[in-house]
Structure 1
Amino acid sequence: MEIGPFIKLHRIKQNMTQEELAEGIVSESYLSKIENRRTEPSADVINMLCTKLGVEVKSEEDTMLKEKCQEWFDMLFEVNRKEDITNKYQELQEIIDNNYSHTQVLFEIHKIRYYLIMDEVNLALKQINNLKEISNTFDNYQLYFWMKFKGNYNSVIEEFGQAIRLYKLAEEKANQIDISDDEAADLKYTMAVTYSKLRNTLEVIDYANKALEEYSKNYNFIRCAQCHILLGISYRRIRIYDKAIKNYNLAQHLAKLNKNDELIQLTNINLANLYASKGDNANCIKCYTEVLKKKEYLKRKEILIAITSLMREYYVNKNYSMCKEMVDEGHKVMKDLDRSRFKIYDYELRTYDYALKNENQKFEELVVGEFIPYLQKQKDYASLIVYTNMVGKHYENQSKYKLASKYYKLANFSYEQLIKI
C-alpha cells in the first residue's frame, strides 16, 4: 500500500478532516495531493503526518506479519470458532493499525468478510464506505477480494442481483491473477448459492458442479455436501426428482460421515421442500417436524424456514390450530432478531396471524400494501404465487370477484415468470 492512500485510510478511520490533519504540517491542498498520489512527500512530512495519526512508518515488509495475516484470511473460509477468529483478528489489528505495512490493504479488505461472519452487517458497510475512498489504488489481487466481499455484503442484505454482478467482476479479476484452488472453488460455490437465490437453475448446476469438482480433489467433504444440496434444490425446481433425491442422499451421507448435525438438518429441510413440491403434505409435515425437534443444530434463519414452511402446510390443510402454534413459535424466534434482516419471515408470520384471526383490514394493509410489493421488488416469483393466490382467495370469499381476479392473474403471471427462469 502506497503511503498516500495509507495516510488517507487512517485519517478516514479516525474521522479526521484533511484540514485537521494538515494543520501545522502542510497545506490542505498539499495533503490532498499526497493522499491521491499526485506528489511524493519528504520523509519528514510523512513522519509528521503519521505521528499525528498515531502510526509508525516501517518501510520494510514484515514477512512474518504477512504470513500471520494469511493464516487469518484462511480462517475466514473454514469452519472455525468465532472466538478463535476474533482473537487472531485482535492480535493482528493492534500490529497493523499502528504500523505502515504493505499487507494492510488486504487486511482492511478482509475485515469486510470478518464483520459479516460476526454478523456485524453495519460495520461491514462502514468498512466498505471507508475503503471506497482508496479503492482506486487497489491492484488486481486486492480488487478481486474487494469485489467478492462487497458481493458477500449484498448477498447478506438480500440484494442478490447486485451480489452476482460483483461476483462476476471478481471472476474476471480471478482470470488475471494467481489465486489458490480453494479460493477459486469458494468463488464458484458462492456464485452457485447466489444464482440459487435468484432461481437461475442452469447457472446453479454449472457453478455447483465446478465447485464440487475442486472440493472433491481436496477432500473437502463439507463443501461437497453443500454443493450436493444446491444441486438437489436445482433439480427439484425443474422437477427432476430422482436426481434431486440422489444429491440430497449424497449430501446427507457426507454430513453423517463428518458428524455435522447442522448439515444433516439442512438436508432434511430440503427433503421436506421436495415433498412439498410433489404435493406430499404428510411427508413434508413429518420431515419439518423432525427438523424442529433438533433445532439446536440450526441457525435462526433455518429455524424460521422450517417454522414458516410448516405454518403454510398446516394452513393449506386447514389445520388452523397447528398453524397458529407455528405462528406463535415463529414470533418467539423473531423476538430478539433485527426484523429488517429477516423481513420475509416477519411478513409471512404476520400474514398468517391476521388471516387466522380474520383481521381482514390488517391482512389487506399488510399483504396487499406491503408484502406483495416487496416480493415484486425482490422478484421472488415463487413466494408471489403463494401470496397472490392467498389474496385472491381472500377477496373471493368476500365476493369481491374483480379484486380476486386481479390477484389470480398476478399469480399466473408470477408462475409464467418462474417458468422462464
Structure 2
Amino acid sequence: MQIGDKLRQLRIYKGLSQVELAAGICSTAYLSKVENGKTSPSASFLEKVTKKLEVESSAFGTEKTAYYVALIQQLEKKVRQEEGLTEKEISTLHLALYEILSMDLQVKVFNLLMKYYISNTQIADAQRLYELCEKIIPMETNVILEDMHDVFVFYNLLGNYFYSQQQFHSADYYYTKAKDYGSKSRLELAKIFYNLSLTKQRIFDDMHISLIYAKQAYELFEQEEQYAEVIDVLISMAIQYTYNENFEEAKSSLQLAFDHLNEYPGVRQNTTLFMLEYHWGRLDEAMGNEEAALQRYVALADTLEEHAPLVYVLKSLVDLYFTQKQWVQVQAYSERAMALAERFQMNYIYIQLMTVRANMLKMRQDEIGYEKEMKKALLLAKEHVLGKLVKEIAQTLGDYYMELRFYKKSSEYYREALQSLK
C-alpha cells in the first residue's frame, strides 16, 4: 500500500475529513494530492501528520515486515503483562491491516485489536474490524499458522465477538473450533468450556449439554483456584438446573456459590452478589414462590447502580406483574428496562420487551398496534441474527394469524420459524 493510501485509510478510521486533518499542517489540496499519489510527502509533513493521527511514523517506512514483527512482539508482551495499549499503538495496528503481511502477522494483529476492542466494550470498532478481516483472513476454514496457539486465540476472540453481538449460534461455532484446536493452558480451556455452556444455554431448550460443559469448566477453574470464575459457573449451573426443573440441584449450586463468596472475600463483588440474589428470585419463581421472588426483585430494582445486570431483574418484574395484570407496574418497569437494554446494547432482552409491549396492545384489542410491534420485533431479531427469538416471534405470529383464519399469512410465518432453525 502506498503512503497516500495509508494516510487516507487511517484518516477515515479516525473519523477525520481532509479539511480537519490538513488544518495546521498543510493545504487541503496538498493533502489530497498526497492521498491520491500525485505527489510525494515531505519528511516534515509526515512527521506532523503522523503525530496528529497518533500513529508511529515508522509504519510509513519501507521495512514494514521487520517493523511490524518487532511491534507485535512488543505489544504481545505488554498484553501478557496486562498492560494497556495506547491509542498510538492501536492506530498503528489498525494501519497494519491494510498492508500485505503474512497470515501469521495478520492474525496476530487481529487478535491484539479484537481483544482490545472487546475488553474496552468498543463494539462498533469490533464490528468494523470483523467486517474488514472477513475479507482478508479465511474465517470459515481452518487457519494454519506457525504458532497454533494464535489460531486458538483467533477463534476464541471470534466467539467473544459474536457473543457480544448476541449471535449465539455463530459464537458457539467459533468457540467449538477453538476447543477443537485446544490449548496447553487449563485456564484457557476452562473459559472455552464455560463459554460453550453459555452459548448452548442460549440455543437449546434442554440444558443437559450446557451442564456437561459447565461441569468441565467448574472442575478446571477449581483446579486453577480461580474462585471468581467458579462462582460464575455455579450461577450458570443453577440457571440451567432451574430450566430443567431440577430445583434441588439449582439450590445446591446457588448455596455453594454463596459459600465460596463468603470463604474467599477477595472475589466478593457487588455485581456477583447482585446476580446471586437475582437467581435466588428466579428459583423461587420457578418453584411457585412468586411473592418471595417479587420481594427479592423489588429490593434489587431499588439499587442505585444502573448496570447491565439490573435489566434482567426489571424484565422479571415485568413478567411477574404481567401475569398479575398490574399494568401500571408493567409499564413503568418495562420502560426502565428498555432504556437500560438500549443503553447497554442488550438486543435480545430489548426485543423480548418489545413483545411484552405488543401483548399489552393486544389485550386492549389494539390488533393493528400488536401486529406492528411484533413485526418490528421480528425484523430486529432477524437484523441481529437472533435465531431463537426469530423462531419464537414468527411462531407467535403464525399462531395469531391462524386463529384469525388468515391461512396464507399464517403459513408464511410458520415457514419463517422453520427457516430460522437452519
- The question of whether the paired residues in 1 share the 8 Å contact of 2:194 and 2:217 is answered with yes
- 2:231 alignment partner, one of 225, 231, 238: 225
Q: Secondary structure at the match of 1:380?
A: helix
The residue that corresponds to 2:319 in the other structure is 312
Q: Secondary structure at the match of 2:234?
A: helix
> How far does the alpha carbon of each residue in 1:45-86 deviate from its partner, in whole angstroms, 9 at most, with x for none?
xxxxx97845754749988973652442574xxxxxxxxx6x
- The question of whether the paired residues in 1 share the 8 Å contact of 2:156 and 2:178 is answered with yes
* Shift of residue 141, structure 1, vs aligned partner: 2.7
* Shift of residue 150, structure 1, vs aligned partner: 1.4
* TM-score computed with the length of structure 2 as normaliser: 0.68
> How far does the alpha carbon of each residue in 1:5-36 deviate from its partner, in whole angstroms, 9 at most, with x for none?
xx9x97996489xxx899999xxxxxxxxxxx
The residue that corresponds to 1:235 in the other structure is 241
- The question of whether the paired residues in 2 share the 8 Å contact of 1:56 and 1:98 is answered with no
The residue that corresponds to 1:115 in the other structure is 117
Of residues 121-130 and 350-359 in structure 1, the stretch that sits farther from structure 2 once superposed is: 350-359
Question: Percent sequence identity over matched residues?
Answer: 14
The CA distance in 2 between the partners of 1:173 and 1:12, in whole Å, is 38
- 1:146 alignment partner, one of 123, 142, 154: 154
- 1:196 alignment partner, one of 188, 201, 221: 201
The residue that corresponds to 2:44 in the other structure is none
- The question of whether the paired residues in 2 share the 8 Å contact of 1:11 and 1:53 is answered with no
Aligned length: 357
- 1:380 alignment partner, one of 388, 397, 412: 388
The CA distance in 1 between the partners of 2:390 and 2:282, in whole Å, is 13
The CA distance in 2 between the partners of 1:244 and 1:55, in whole Å, is 61
* Shift of residue 226, structure 1, vs aligned partner: 0.7
Of residues 253-262 and 373-382 in structure 1, the stretch that sits farther from structure 2 once superposed is: 373-382
* TM-score computed with the length of structure 1 as normaliser: 0.68
* Shift of residue 354, structure 1, vs aligned partner: 3.1
* Shift of residue 88, structure 1, vs aligned partner: 3.0
The residue that corresponds to 1:162 in the other structure is 170
- 1:280 alignment partner, one of 284, 289, 292: 289
The CA distance in 2 between the partners of 1:71 and 1:214, in whole Å, is 26
* Shift of residue 223, structure 1, vs aligned partner: 0.4
The CA distance in 2 between the partners of 1:125 and 1:373, in whole Å, is 20
Of residues 147-156 and 226-235 in structure 1, the stretch that sits farther from structure 2 once superposed is: 147-156
The CA distance in 2 between the partners of 1:248 and 1:339, in whole Å, is 25
Of residues 234-243 and 198-207 in structure 1, the stretch that sits farther from structure 2 once superposed is: 198-207
The residue that corresponds to 2:279 in the other structure is 270
The CA distance in 2 between the partners of 1:233 and 1:12, in whole Å, is 49
- The question of whether the paired residues in 2 share the 8 Å contact of 1:204 and 1:230 is answered with no
**Residue identity in the other structure for 2:277:** N
Assess, with a 3 A threshold, how the Cα gap between structure 1 residues 295 and 250 changes in structure 2: closer, same or farther.
farther
Assess, with a 3 A threshold, how the Cα gap between structure 1 residues 383 and 312 changes in structure 2: closer, same or farther.
farther
The CA distance in 2 between the partners of 1:52 and 1:261, in whole Å, is 44
Whether 1:260 and 2:263 are equivalent positions in the alignment is no
Alignment of 1:53-132 (within 5 A): 53-54=60-61, 57=64, 59=66, 66=73, 69-73=76-80, 75=82, 87-90=84-87, 92-93=89-90, 105-132=107-134
Q: Secondary structure at the match of 2:85?
A: helix
- 1:294 alignment partner, one of 303, 320, 334: 303
- The question of whether the paired residues in 1 share the 8 Å contact of 2:284 and 2:292 is answered with yes
The CA distance in 2 between the partners of 1:388 and 1:10, in whole Å, is 51
Assess, with a 3 A threshold, how the Cα gap between structure 1 residues 227 and 305 changes in structure 2: closer, same or farther.
same
* Shift of residue 208, structure 1, vs aligned partner: 1.1
- The question of whether the paired residues in 2 share the 8 Å contact of 1:66 and 1:103 is answered with no
**Residue identity in the other structure for 1:265:** F
The CA distance in 1 between the partners of 2:81 and 2:175, in whole Å, is 19
The RMSD of aligned alpha carbons is 4.6
- The question of whether the paired residues in 2 share the 8 Å contact of 1:275 and 1:283 is answered with yes
**Residue identity in the other structure for 1:170:** A
The CA distance in 1 between the partners of 2:338 and 2:39, in whole Å, is 58
Assess, with a 3 A threshold, how the Cα gap between structure 1 residues 135 and 142 changes in structure 2: closer, same or farther.
farther
**Residue identity in the other structure for 1:315:** F
Q: Secondary structure at the match of 1:183?
A: helix
* Shift of residue 246, structure 1, vs aligned partner: 0.7
Assess, with a 3 A threshold, how the Cα gap between structure 1 residues 193 and 275 changes in structure 2: closer, same or farther.
same
- The question of whether the paired residues in 2 share the 8 Å contact of 1:195 and 1:203 is answered with yes
The residue that corresponds to 2:184 in the other structure is 179
- Structure 2's unaligned 5+ residue stretches are 14-34, 41-56, 418-422
* Shift of residue 238, structure 1, vs aligned partner: 1.2
**Residue identity in the other structure for 1:273:** R
